[in-house]
Every structure is written in C-alpha cells, then in structure tokens.
Amino acid sequence: MHDLLTHNFYLALAPWFVFAGLSVIAVVLMKFAKKRRGIAIAFAVLVQMFSPDPFVEKAITMVVSEKRAIKKQQEDGGKGKVKELREQEK
C-alpha cells in the first residue's frame, strides 16, 4: 500500500520535474548563447529544422502563384516586369 502511494505521488510530480529540468536546460542554453558558443547555435538550428512550420501551406501557395505569374509574363514577352517582380520580393 505504501509503495502505491509513493508511486502515485511521484507520478503526480513528474510533469513538474520535467518542467524544472527543461527550465534549467533553457537557462544554460541562454548563457551559452550570450557567450556565442556553438552548442546553442547548433541546438537552435536543430529545433528550427525539426519544428513544424504553421505557415508552410501559405508559403507554398505564394511561391507557386509567383512562379505562375513570372512564367505568364515571360510568355507574354514582358521581361521588364519580371525584374520588377523580383525587386519587389527583395
């Protein structure tokens, strides 16, 4: 009976232990980032690489529509307008 209560107690505290651990890791990474250490930059690159982009569908549709517009203008012979579009993107 005592083991069951102890087990449930630690199970209830597990999310707080995880939160505390992640907080300590965040503080250490911020210190490394202020000193411009490579580990912080590498961690940031990995997080950026594997985290989902919420606007990925919007970005894809924008690129596709821009390519269609450029292709259409090239077919019409409006090469000057293509340069204007590229300058507007910058």
- Within 10 A of 67 (CB to CB), how many other CB atoms are there? 10
Residue-level pLDDT, tens digit, the chain, 90 residues: 567 667 888 888 999 999 999 999 999 989 988 888 888 888 888 888 888 777 778 888 888 888 888 888 777 765 555 566 666 665
Global confidence as pTM: 0.46
Q: How far apart are CA 31 and CA 45, in angstroms?
A: 17
Q: Report the C-alpha gap between 43 and 25 in whole angstroms.
A: 11
Q: Which token pair is 29?
A: 């990474």
Element (H, E) at 79: helix 79-89
